[in-house]
């Protein structure tokens, strides 16, 4: 297929772009390079420097004729979204409004969208199925829920074949592509920066959550396994349907357990300091991915947290300052 990967210079978008190329698809990456990196665009992909908020450029690019769009371009930090809600809605909801309008204007048939576990808020049950109540507790989660809602209506109205993938916590590296956020806010890359000697310690945001060790529990998925789900979603998408799949391993690890695993993998003590809770963080997020396993045959190949962190560590050591600018 001929595919436009919007946000394909970011962490997950670049890995999926690389996997699409490896599977024989033609790939064009569209990215404004605000959070993405030109060096993360895989060899073999065409590149357009464009913004998802620029509808005219999106339409002009899609007019070349594409079989589908994979839309990763978004703001994705829970804590930041609490401080800047309008910016999150503008980029995440407004950006996807543009993607859909451009797809409609150009007759582009398929959409795979990056949604999030943050749409569920504080769940009543874990693992969380797709049928769980949608009660986001952060502007980030609310913006992604609004977008998922829009995609459902757009699939029905315009016959778009759409799939939303609700990611839980993604980590690891694939094909020489890894995680390079500036500033970095995610637990695993920060722990590895401490191990590398770039930071003195790691803050633990909240030790009084209703969990066994008092720290938040998350479901960490290897970016390679997450990427594979996008290829399956693209093949399975049906005109006029909006499918929704949760993506995680189904196992939860606390912040302390993640740090302990990072200590084992790196052989570094990774000192920590206690810090207050971060706004917008639910205590526990663990995925049920039964639906995508049953319907698309998805199966994680690297479910082990130690492997996920080891792959991230290998990338971090090879790229101690991230991608070149
Ligand atoms: N944490 C710390 N110290 C840090 C960084 C993080 O204690 O220095 C904690 C957080 O409070 C949280 C956990 O580690 O409890 C994981 O935090 P991350 O920032 O790594 O990831 P999040 O769970 O906040 O968010 C990620 C993505 C979101 C997505 C969410 C879904 O960034 O886009 O997973 O689970 F919505």
Domains of the chain with CATH codes:
2-171+220-247 (3.40.50.720), 187-218+250-318 (3.90.25.10)
First to last CA, the chain: 30
**Verdict on whether the full-model pTM lies above 0.95:** yes
State pLDDT tens for residues 233-249: 999 999 999 999 999 99
Give the other-Cβ count within 10 Å of 240's Cβ: 12
Q: What is the pLDDT of residue 325?
A: 79
DSSP label at residue 92: I
- Is residue 215 a contact partner of residue 206, using CB atoms and an 8 Å limit? yes
Cα 239 to averaged position of ligand 1 atoms, centre (Å): 34
- Averaged pLDDT of the chain: 98
Which helix H or strand E contains 202, and what residues bound it?
A: strand 202-205
- 192-195: long-range contacts (C-beta < 8 A, 24 or more apart)? 192/262, 192/266, 192/309, 192/312, 192/313, 192/316, 193/316, 194/268, 194/270, 194/271, 195/262, 195/263, 195/266, 195/268, 195/270, 195/313
Whether ligand 1 lies within 6 angstroms of the CB of 187 is answered as: yes
Distance 185 CA to ligand 1 centre (A): 8
Digit-coded pLDDT (tens) for 109-154: 999 999 999 999 999 999 999 999 999 999 999 999 999 999 999 9
Ligand 1 centroid distance, CA of 186 (Å): 5
Q: What spacing in Å lies between the alpha carbon of 287 and ligand 1's midpoint?
A: 15
The model's pLDDT over 192-249, given as tens digits with 9 standing for 90+, comes to 999 999 999 999 999 999 999 999 999 999 999 999 999 999 999 999 999 999 999 9
* pLDDT per residue as tens digits for the range 44-55: 999 999 999 999
137 ligand 1 Cβ < 6 A: no
Q: Say how far apart CA 64 and CA 47 lie, in whole Å.
A: 14
Which is catalytic among the residues 120, 140, 167, 209? 140
Question: 3-class DSSP state for residue 9?
Answer: coil
255 touches ligand 1 (CB under 6 Å)? yes
pLDDT band, very low/low/confident/very high, at 323 (cuts 50, 70, 90): very high
> Any alpha helices (H) in 72-216, and if so which ranges?
78-83, 85-89, 95-106, 139-158, 187-195
pLDDT for the residue numbered 205: 98
Is the bond preceding 52 in cis, omega lying within 30 degrees of 0?
Answer: no
Q: Which atom of ligand 1 is nearest to the CA of 118?
A: 36
The answer to whether the CB of 217 is under 6 A from ligand 1 is no
**Residues making up the chain, counted from first to last:** 325
Nearest-atom index, ligand 1, CA of 219: 35
State the average pLDDT over residues 293-299. 98
- What residue's CA is closest to ligand 1, atom 15? 216
Element (H, E) at 115: strand 110-116
- 3-state helix vs strand vs coil in the chain, percent to 5: 40, 20, 40
Which residue of 169, 279, 280 sits with most ligand 1 atoms within 8 Å of its CB, as the best mutation to test the pocket?
169
Q: Is the CB of 168 under 6 A from ligand 1?
A: yes
Give residue 8's Cα distance to chain centre: 11
CA of 304 to the centre of ligand 1 (A): 18
What is the sign of the dihedral through the CA atoms of 193, 195, 201 and 204?
positive
Q: Is 120 a known active-site residue?
A: no
pLDDT over threshold 90, residue 31 = yes
pLDDT computed for residue 280 by the predictor? 87
Secondary structure (DSSP) of 227-242: HHHHHHHHHH--TT-E
Residues of the chain with pLDDT > 70: what percent? 100
Return the closest-CA partner of residue 67 out of 24, 30, 39, 106: 106
pLDDT confidence of residue 145: 98
- Across the range 260-266, mean pLDDT stands at 98
User: What integer pLDDT is reported at residue 187 of this predicted model?
Assistant: 98
320 φ, ψ to 5°?
Answer: -60, -25
Q: Which of 146, 155, 190 is nearest to 316 (CA)?
A: 190
């Amino acid at each position: 297929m001929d595919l436009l990967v919007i946000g394909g210079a970011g962490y997950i978008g670049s890995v999926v772009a690389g996997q699409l190329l490896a599977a024989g698809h033609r790939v064009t990456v569209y990215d404004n390079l605000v959070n993405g990196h030109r060096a993360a665009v895989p060899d073999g992909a065409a590149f357009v420097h464009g913004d998802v908020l620029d509808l005219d450029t999106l339409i002009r690019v899609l007019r070349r004729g594409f079989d589908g769009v994979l839309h990763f371009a978004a703001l994705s930090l829970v804590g930041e979204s609490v401080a800047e809600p309008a910016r999150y809605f503008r980029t995440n909801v407004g950006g996807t409004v543009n993607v859909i309008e451009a797809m409609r204007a150009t007759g582009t048939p398929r959409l795979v969208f990056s949604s999030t576990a943050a749409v569920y808020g504080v769940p009543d049950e874990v693992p969380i199925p797709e049928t769980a109540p949608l009660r986001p507790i952060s502007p980030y989660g609310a913006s992604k829920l609004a977008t998922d809602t829009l995609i459902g209506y757009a699939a029905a109205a315009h016959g778009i074949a759409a799939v939303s993938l609700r990611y839980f916590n993604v980590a690891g590296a694939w094909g020489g592509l890894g995680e390079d956020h500036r500033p970095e806010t995610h637990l695993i890359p920060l722990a590895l920066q401490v191990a590398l000697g770039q930071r003195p310690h790691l803050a633990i945001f909240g030790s009084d959550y209703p969990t066994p060790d008092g720290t938040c529990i998350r479901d960490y998925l290897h970016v390679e396994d997450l990427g594979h789900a996008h290829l399956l979603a693209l093949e399975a998408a049906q005109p006029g349907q909006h499918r929704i799949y949760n993506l995680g391993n189904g196992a939860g690890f606390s912040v302390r357990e993640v740090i302990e695993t990072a200590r084992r993998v790196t052989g570094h003590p990774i000192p920590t300091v206690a810090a207050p809770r971060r706004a917008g963080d639910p205590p526990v997020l663990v995925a049920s991915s039964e639906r995508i396993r049953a319907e698309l045959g998805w199966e994680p190949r690297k479910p082990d947290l130690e492997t996920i962190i080891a792959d991230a560590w290998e990338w971090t050591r090879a790229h101690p300052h991230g991608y070149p600018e």
